[in-house]
Chain A
């Protein structure tokens, strides 16, 4: 397999201008409607993959998109002070995390993650961006050319880690045992 070849990668970006957000939640509504089956058959902002953190008394309006799922809540949390405004712990964190109900399916608790509205045929821009008439969300796509190592799959990495720790044999044994169950 050839490695270190030049690759063109499309980077999709949603630029968030919190100063333009009015807190209308049209983004949440559009996202939740788009991701139901059949499409647009219901509205439920608890299923949205974007959440507007809102506190009018403190002038806090921050749209956050759902990121990775984390199994355990983290110990080192962030609390930001920006321009004299104090943001609550975890405000800017996109994780679907056991510490909170955000970004989890309300019924099953399964994690929600922004998929950039992947669909076939692709949308011109993501639903939340299209719904935001205030310019708080804008979409950019650019091609990035980089010398990139072929990435290995998660499983490959996991096996390597296990093999290092327990030795190849033990891992193989465990794998054989598990696959019989």
Chain B
């Protein structure tokens, strides 16, 4: 009997039209949990290193976190993973809401999609009944229409439909997959598009079993109440209308301009009214006592919801106000474009026009009003019309195609992924490490457990430390105690802070826990709902898998190392691990490189940033070591970074 997980995955080959329900090995669950962990193994085992991400041989995997579909509060994240067309490395995205729980109740831990359908199709899943259906009539349909039409067609209002809009069908790099109020953005969209898969509809009516019913229920009921009352978790942007943080500190336009005094009380009041005059309600995700989505009805637009920083991206890219975001978001969402990277791509294009690298001829009939320009480009991109066909490659891809100095304007990407528009003064070592090395390609998917800033008041500091249950080791207490200035802590502390921050995300993404009640929410206030001390109990009680803090930590190391090995095999090396050059005004190349070496060494990786054979074997990843040796990524004789002669040269 399997608990929390169903023990089956659905494997669909769209080229062959085959559908298989395949039993999985519980040993793998014990080693890799679920979600991201299991997806990584599938990508590593089944997608050979030379595979073109656009080819039918790439996989698109919707992987349920281990705890999804149970009564663990806030466990609902589906890890959507593939090889990303934008850079050929791991493409990782998370989808909340209800899709995952429904998939579990349909009897599957994950859906693995391979191949390419000869024509546009959608997948309809109702428990064991799985069909690949023609989607010709859905071609070009907008996001909300698609979901509604499929539910009507299946005569099932309770089905959940994860769909593409036109942008996804057209393989736009910034395309997202939406399902109700949730979406998987940043990579899986275009892969789903190239597979000719318009949507996946799912409905399940089977039981998801719990290993230790009474105790698991007791623990989860307690947790639900704790999460509910904990003010430091969830998304306070849903209720706190003071958003000076993003507006004064993040950069506007193409990640260029800081407006440090933008925010004012008058503005806050005006925007508060704007929001609540048009808000229908807050909405939430499966079994979570926080409700982070703001459901908005703007005149002449369909109702839509957004959460967190999605509130700011469009108007900040366009130097407008909140009303602009409210009027453009529903349209962008219906086209199936992600609100994180798309505004940056548009702002980038307009900058190129200003600089004369692109000319008026590239933008025929573009209106002069800035808002109208955004609408104009939004449609050009979604339908790949004219310049939109170029911009559909994302900032980095477009810059390469355009050339003539456009590359200089691609200043806010890491490994070709658009980053948060943050431009700061002094280098922050821990952030340097996380941005440079993050396999998840976004700082919000890496940071979160250790506070962003020190507390200087000694009394408040001690109070904070006393309530800081989440720390995996007392040494973090000590480092926090001695921390006075943001950039000043021993290198060892910087390395281990990055490690712990990463750890929580890798665990969340494999267990299905939402970062807003866990990994992302330790940095402000220190009291996360989940941490390495209560996760093991949950795993044992709910999934029936023996776990403790050390075993769990090893799971993190294994999953993180597997992600690294996957990318190494696809060519990831040290020299690519660079934050945007202008991320900090003051840089210190030599120090940064030394720090990177220390980080690699701590992880058991080589000077080039590849896990050594020994490290892999220690983590039960011997098969990965063999494979890397076979593919000439490793010889097997490598030492960890600090033992490398090149590290000594660095010191001199």
Q: Give me the interface of A with B, judged by CB distance under 8 Å.
A: 19, 21-26, 29-30, 33, 36, 38-47, 53, 55-59, 61, 88, 106, 130-131, 133-134
Contact = CB atoms under 8 A, between A and B. Distances in A.
B98 A25 contact: yes
A46 B209 contact: no
A61 B214 contact: no
**Sorted from nearest, which 8 A-B pairs have the closest CB atoms?**
A46-B205, A106-B205, A40-B213, A42-B207, A40-B217, A22-B291, A24-B284, A59-B280
A30 B71 contact: yes
Given A39-B217, A46-B105, A134-B291, A57 B71 contact: no
B180 A40 contact: no
B207 A36 contact: yes
A33 B207 CA distance: 10
B573 to A, nearest CB: 44
B17 to A, nearest CB: 28
Interface string B57-99: 0000000000001110100000000000000000000000010
Q: Chain B interface residue count: which class?
A: 35 or more
Interface of B: 69-71, 73, 98, 101, 105, 144, 148, 157, 180-181, 204-210, 213-214, 216-217, 221, 224-225, 228, 280-289, 291, 295, 297, 302-303, 305
B221 to A, nearest CB: 8
Contact of B208 (A30, A42, A53, A59): A42
Contacts of A134: 289, 291
A59 B303 contact: yes
A40 B224 contact: no
A44 B214 contact: no
A42 B281 contact: no
Given A19-B281, A57-B303, A133-B225, A45 B210 contact: no
B170 to A, nearest CB: 23
Contacts of A55: 157
14 contacts: A25-B98, A26-B224, A26-B289, A30-B71, A38-B213, A39-B213, A39-B214, A42-B209, A43-B105, A47-B205, A47-B207, A56-B305, A88-B157, A106-B206
Nearest to B218: A40
Contacts of B287: 24-26, 29
Contacts of A42: 207-210
A9 B90 CA distance: 64
Nearest to B4: A43
A21 B207 CA distance: 25
Contacts of B157: 53, 55, 88
Contacts of A24: 284-289, 291
B104 to A, nearest CB: 8
A130 B71 CA distance: 14
A57 B210 contact: no
Given A88-B157, A106-B206, 8 more contacts: A29-B287, A36-B207, A43-B71, A44-B105, A45-B105, A57-B144, A59-B280, A59-B295
Contacts of B288: 24, 26
Nearest to B180: A56
A56 B283 contact: yes
A35 to B, nearest CB: 12
Nearest to A104: B205
Contacts of A44: 105, 205-208
A43 B289 contact: no
B144 A29 contact: no
A133 B289 contact: yes
Contact of B216 (A23, A30, A40, A133): A40
A57 B148 contact: yes
A56 B181 contact: yes
A43 B289 CA distance: 18
B464 to A, nearest CB: 26
Contacts of B289: 24, 26, 133-134
Nearest to B105: A44
Given A38-B213, A56-B295, A134-B291, A22 B207 contact: no
A38 B213 CA distance: 8
Contacts of A106: 205-206
B501 to A, nearest CB: 28
Contact of A33 (B71, B225, B286, B303): B71
Contacts of A61: 281, 283
A19 B228 CA distance: 19
Contacts of A25: 98, 286-287
A15 B506 CA distance: 41
B480 to A, nearest CB: 31
A46 B207 CA distance: 9
A6 B224 CA distance: 43
Nearest to A51: B158
A57 B147 CA distance: 10
A22 B206 contact: no
A53 B291 CA distance: 17
B207 A43 contact: yes
B284 A23 contact: yes
A133 B217 contact: no
A46 B148 CA distance: 21
Contact of B70 (A19, A23, A43): A43
A57 B105 contact: no
A53 B613 CA distance: 54
A39 B217 CA distance: 9
A6 to B, nearest CB: 40
Contacts of B101: 45
Contacts of B291: 22, 24, 134
A155 to B, nearest CB: 34
A43 B210 contact: yes
A42 B207 CA distance: 6
A46 to B, nearest CB: 4
B520 to A, nearest CB: 19
Given A26-B287, A38-B213, A134-B291, A58 B303 contact: yes
Contacts of A45: 101, 105
A138 to B, nearest CB: 15
A33 B217 contact: yes
